[in-house]
Amino acid sequence: MPLIIGLLPFLLLGVIAVVGKNFADKGGKLAIGGLALGVMLSSYQFTLLGEQALIWETSWLEVGEINLTVGWQVDTLTGLMCVLIYGISLLVFVFSLAYMKGDPYLVRYWMYLCLFVGAMLGIVLSNNLLQVFVFWELVGFSSYLLIGFWFEKDAPARASQQAFLVNRVGDIGFLLGIFATWLLFGELNISELGSAKASFDRMSEAWLPACGVLLFLGCIGKSAQFPLQLWLPDAMEGPTPVSSLIHAATMVAAGVYLLARISVIMTTEVLTVVAVVGTLTAFMAAIAATVQWDIKRVLAYSTISQLGYMVMGIGVGAYEMALFHLFTHAFFKCALFLAAGAVIHQLHAAGHEADPQDLRNMGGLRQSMSRTFACYLPPALALAGLPLLSGFLSKDGILLGAVDWAEANGGMLAWLVPMAGFITAGLTAYYVGRHAWLIFGGKLRTPAWAGKISDAPIIMLGPIFILAVFSLWLPWSWNPLDGSSGWFIELIGLSEPAHSDNHWWVGGVSVLLSLGGIAWASLRFRQAAQKFDAPQNGFRQLAFTHFFQKEMYQYAFVKPVLWVKEILAWFDRRIVDGVVNGIAFITVNKHWPYSSLSLVAARFDAVVIDGVVNGIAKSAASMGRRLRHMQSGYLQAYLGIAIFVLLIIMLIFNLFLPNP
Amino acid sequence: MIPTSFFLMAGAVLMAIGCFLVLSRKNLIMALMGIELMLNASNLNFVAFTRNDQADLDGQMAGLFIMVLAAAEITVALAIVLALYRKYQSVELDDFDQLKH
């Protein structure tokens, strides 16, 4: 069963590759049908799961002492992830049907999407790190293909390469981490790492943290954490459904999922690093999101920020809550992206007078796209973290975990983590409010579009609506104010949920901060005739460029490489060419008195080298004259000689080699 | 029980006869027969050596393989003889001297 679930997308990929071009929608309905089957299968599998995880594995290759296995492991978390991946992918596929209509390379699009989904399922189902790594790379590769789907344009091609290269950096860390894990535990099986660590005590001081940090590097790359987060905003160059898939279920979730799975081997120091990196990422990205003008970039930075929350949650030990946030975030972020896609699509249809992705050109769409607005609002408020919505449940849990962690660890520095978390919550509400006001509030700021904008078709709205329902609190927990009593935590939770005394004030503060953020945003962006050419002060620029990250990489890595290139070119031109020219000058210049080198060489050539060459030729000729009699032309004579020589060789071997 | 060396002697004699046939006969078919004899000689050696290793019948397996191989080989060889006959109108080995001229 897990095998079918894991291989179904690859099967679809093959089918679409072969017969896809014969259909009007290039195999889209085929893919959707396959995914619907996948949803059913994975839900059925989920109902079958009991306390015991389904584990199957077989030997893959044996090299000496090393015995590597392949297999899968399906426990509650994996089962849920399968349902999530299939469910979200299905909705995104349905949305794509309308969004990508008429694209000339639609067959390729469906194929890549299937590959993407299959690779992600592979990561989730694999039971050992090496197999995870294989699918991990496959996810990276298919995201590269999808981000660069419109590769004729310059920006997507560059963005896809950037995503690929930045991910490589993390992947190298991950691979080294796998090596280190093998070295330390002799075990790559995820489910057995915990017991392997328990029985492990030698050289733990130095190597165990290193191993944890290296594995975390893989997560940093894939889940866009500091300092490798710059690829994610640029990945917005891909088609919008792809962005939503990347952000919701198939790519960035991989890092967090893996981190949760391997957090058993992380030591306290590593977890602190994880928490700090997550907090830093969440905070930086939230600031960057407050000043972006691209409708998708705001969401991209918000994804980075929310991923930072999840990583922080794992770092502070609230890893059930982090996974809970992964799930709720998957739904509302996917809905937001699809809503943004619907807006872009409708504005694009309204005319090409202005950039349909620029927030400055929008405004007032709640009248013309009222149904889209209705579907957009719940997920947006969930992202802002208002109560009665799913985002509140999980984000609150993570913040609570951070507060508990800071309390347990003590010290002023530890409190920085929850503090930054709270500030980020306020910032999140602010940029969500800004996003909503700029798109839907006020009046339309592009006169050319007036009256031409129509609401999105039902095939787009349907998926968004379903996702929006899942961003309410009810699908997750009966109690709208406390996520830890929901079914999700009960299913996933290995430990008893801690009933902390901090719960009420943490929830209260985060709600107040969210409301404050939204209020501030509505005060600033309510007016339609807002002037957007605000002075580019230092802070604004810092935030817009995401702390000059790209520039820093440019200076730290790209520029030095170019400098080295310049230096090498200079060295080549001056030194190497100079030496070569100098030698030529010495040897052939007639006017220079010491240029006899070439003359000496010529004499040497004529006498010694020619002599040797001719001598060899002559001796060969005389030998040939003597041996030509052997070439009788009779086959059997040749054979006889061959057998005779063979006998002699055998005799020699018998005589001179010691008998065993 | 017949000593193994007897079989080895018989194999050696067969090998020598095959070798002699290949080297001396002018007719291609006869040379092929010699090759078959040599194959059988080696086969005999394999089987003979298996007598010392009753638990593991590797030698007999090799013998079976050689039989199959010989059958396959002779079909190909006869096909080649036919092709040669078409080209030279002869199956005499000494007539195949195109490389020399």
Per-residue pLDDT tens digits for A145-191: 888 888 888 888 888 888 888 888 888 889 998 888 888 777 777 77
* pLDDT value at A201 more than 70: no
**Residue of A632, A636, A639, A641 for testing the chain B interface, max B β-carbons within 10 Å:** A636
The interface pTM score, or ipTM, of the predicted complex is 0.75
> Smallest Cβ distance to B22: which of A631, A634, A639?
A639
Give the list of residues 6+ apart from residue A183 with CB closer than 8 angstroms, or none: A207
Identify the sign of the CA torsion B36, B39, B45, B47: negative
Give the least confident one: A183-197, A527-541, A617-631, B57-71: A527-541
Report pLDDT for A483. Answer: 62
User: Considering chain A, what percentage of its residues have pLDDT values greater than 70?
Assistant: 89
Q: Using alpha carbons only, how large is chain A's radius of gyration in Å?
A: 33
Instruction: Give the sign of the dihedral formed by CA A247, CA A251, CA A253, CA A256.
Output: negative
DSSP character string of A188-205:
-BHHHHHHHHHT--TTHH
State the nearest Cα–Cα gap between A67 and chain B, in angstroms: 28
Q: Which of A127-141, A195-209, A498-512, A601-615 has the highest mean pLDDT?
A: A127-141
Nearest residue of A to residue B24 by CA position? A636
Q: Quick check: A200 pLDDT over 70?
A: no
Residue A486 to residue A479: CA distance in whole angstroms: 7
pLDDT at A24: 67
Nearest CA-CA partner of A169 in A231, A123, A259, A245: A231
Kindly report the nearest CA distance between residue B101 and chain A, in angstroms.
Answer: 9
pLDDT band with cut points at 50, 70 and 90 for residue A589: low
A533 has a pLDDT exceeding 80: no
Residue among B22, B30, B32 with most chain A CBs within 10 A, to mutate: B22
Torsions phi, psi for B27 (to 5 deg): -85, 130
Q: Which residue of A has its CA nearest to B98?
A: A633
Contact A635 B94 (CB under 8 A): yes
Of A274-288, A331-345, A542-556, the range with the lowest mean pLDDT is A542-556
pLDDT at B27 exceeding the cut of 70? yes
pLDDT band at A263 (very low <50, low <70, confident <90, very high): confident
C-alpha A43: how far from its chain's center?
A: 26
Note the pLDDT of residue B66. 92
- Is the Cβ–Cβ distance between A435 and A380 less than 8 Å? yes
Consecutive H or E run containing A361 = none
Flag whether pLDDT at B61 surpasses 60.
yes
CA distance B13 to chain A (A): 16
Residue A383 pLDDT > 80 = yes
Confidence category of residue A58, pLDDT binned at 50, 70, 90: confident
Higher pLDDT, A136 or A48: A136
Contact check, Cβ <8 Å, B100/A633? yes
Q: What percent of chain A has pLDDT over 90?
A: 1
Other CB atoms within 10 Å distance of the CB of residue A647: 10
Q: Are B30 and B18 in contact (CB under 8 A)?
A: no
- Facing residue for B94 by CB, picked from A634, A640, A643: A634
Q: What is the DSSP letter of A186?
A: S
Closest in A631, A632, A636 to B23, CB measured: A636
3-state SS, residue B51:
coil
The two tokens of residue A246 are 């990347």
Give the residue from chain B lying closest to A636, CA to CA. Answer: B23
Kindly indicate the confidence band of residue B41, based on its pLDDT and cuts at 50, 70 and 90.
Answer: very high
Contact A635 B22 (CB under 8 A): no
CB–CB contact B23 A631 (8 Å): no
* B22 → chain A, closest CA residue: A636
**pLDDT tens digit sequence for A390-433:** 888 888 888 888 888 888 876 777 888 888 888 888 888 888 88
> Three-state DSSP class for A416?
helix
Mean pLDDT of chain B: 88
Lowest-pLDDT choice from A74-88, A202-216, A590-604: A590-604
Q: Which residues are bridge partners to A67 per DSSP? A: A62
Q: Average pLDDT of A545-561?
A: 75
Q: Is A631 left (phi over 0), alpha (psi -120 to 50) or beta?
A: beta
**Helix ranges restricted to H, A441-485:** 458-469
Here the tokens at position A383 are 């992202």
- Which pair of tokens denotes residue A359? 């927030």
Flag the least confident range among A199-213, A263-277, B72-86.
Answer: A199-213
Question: Using an 8 Å Cβ cutoff, are A569 and A397 in contact?
Answer: no
Half-sphere exposure of A530 (CA within 13 A, CB side): 24
Number of Cβ within 10 Å of residue A430's Cβ equals: 25
Choose the mutation target among A635, A638, A641 for the interface with B, i.e. most B CBs under 10 Å. Answer: A635
Give A455's DSSP letter.
Answer: P
Dist. CA A64–CA A231, nearest whole Å: 41
- Residue A592: per-residue pLDDT: 59
pLDDT tens digits along A228-246: 878 888 888 888 888 888 8
pLDDT digits (tens, 9 = 90+) for A112-142: 888 988 888 888 888 888 888 989 899 889 8
At A31-47, the pLDDT tens digits run 888 888 888 888 888 88
Instruction: Supply the pLDDT for residue B64.
Output: 92
Neighbours of A15 (CB within 10 A): 17
The token pair at B7 is: 């079989």
Confidence of residue B80 (pLDDT cuts 50, 70, 90): very high
> Which residue on chain A is closest to B27 by alpha carbon?
A636
Q: What is the pLDDT of residue A205?
A: 61
pLDDT at A500 over 70: no
Question: What is residue A72's three-state secondary structure?
Answer: strand
A473, with CB counted inside 10 A (0-12, 13-18, 19+), is buried
Residue A402 phi, psi (nearest 5): -65, -40
Contacts of B99 in chain A (CB under 8 A): 633
Res A590: pLDDT:
62
Residue-level pLDDT at B13: 94
Task: Determine the pLDDT at residue B40.
Answer: 92
Q: In degrees, to the nearest 5, what angle opens at C-alpha A413 toward C-alphas A408 and A419?
A: 85
* Contact between chains at B24 and A635 (C-beta distance less than 8 A): no
Residue B43 is predicted with a pLDDT of 92
Q: Please determine, for residue A306, whether its predicted confidence score (pLDDT) is greater than 70.
A: yes
Q: How far is B12 from chain A (nearest CA, A)?
A: 14
Calculate the CA dihedral of residues A257, A259, A263, A265 and round it to 10 degrees.
120
Residue B68's pLDDT band (boundaries 50, 70, 90)?
very high
Q: How many whole angstroms separate alpha carbon A34 and alpha carbon A5?
A: 10
Chain A residues contacting B via beta carbons under 8 Å: 631-636, 639-640, 643
Look up residue A580 and give its two tokens: 């070569």
- C-alpha to C-alpha distance for A142 and A109, rounded to whole angstroms: 11
**Residues in A touching B19 (Cβ below 8 Å):** 643
Lowest average pLDDT, out of A265-274, A297-306, A471-480, goes to A471-480
Cβ–Cβ of B93/A634 closer than 8 Å? yes
- The beta-carbon neighbor of B100 closest among A631, A639, A640 is A631
Instruction: From chain A, pick out residues whose CB is under 8 angstroms from the CB of B18.
Output: none
Average pLDDT, chain A: 81
How many angstroms separate the CA atoms of A342 and A372, rounded?
A: 8
Is B77 a residue whose pLDDT tops 90?
yes
Q: At what angle do helices A106-125 and A129-147 cross, to 10 degrees?
A: 160
pLDDT of residue B33: 92
CB contacts of A631 in chain B (<8 Å) are 100
Is the pLDDT score of A593 beyond 70? no
pLDDT at residue A511, rounded to an integer: 84
A643–chain B nearest CA distance, Å: 9
Torsion sign (Cα): A266, A269, A271, A277: negative
CB–CB of A635 and B93 under 8 A?
yes
| Residue B100 distance to chain A (closest CA, Å) | 6
DSSP SS3 for A471: coil
Strand partners, A189: A128
Residue with tokens 């789907």: A149
Q: Terminus-to-terminus CA distance in chain B, angstroms? A: 57
Kindly indicate the confidence band of residue A591, based on its pLDDT and cuts at 50, 70 and 90. low
Q: What values do phi and psi take at A128, rounded to 5?
A: -135, 160
Q: For residues A517-532, give the mean pLDDT.
A: 71
Read off the pLDDT band of B79 (50, 70, 90). very high
pLDDT of res. B101: 63
**Is-contact A371 A510, C-beta < 8 A?**
no
Residue of A631, A632, A636 lying closest to B93 (CB–CB): A636
User: Are residues A631 and B24, on separate chains, in Cβ contact within 8 Å?
Assistant: no
Using the structure block, give the residue that is written with the tokens 């949650």. A313
pLDDT confidence band for A531 (50 / 70 / 90): low
Residues in chain B closer than 8 A to A633 (CB atoms): 97, 99-101
CB-CB under 8 Å, A634 with B97: yes
Determine whether the interchain pair A636/B24 forms a contact, defined as Cβ–Cβ distance below 8 Å.
Answer: yes
How large is the average pLDDT for residues A366-379? Answer: 85
* H or E element in which residue A105 lies: none
Site of tokens 């409301």: A515
Torsion, Cα A633 A635 A641 A643, to 10 degrees, reads: 170
Alpha-carbon gap: A68 to the closest alpha carbon of chain B (Å): 31
User: Do A640 and B23 lie within an 8 Å CB cutoff?
Assistant: yes
The 8-class DSSP code of residue A294 comes to B
Decide if A635 and B96 are in contact by the 8 Å CB cutoff: yes
Separation CA A181–CA A198 (nearest Å): 14
Mean pLDDT of A470-478: 77
Chain B residues within an 8 Å CB radius of A644 = none
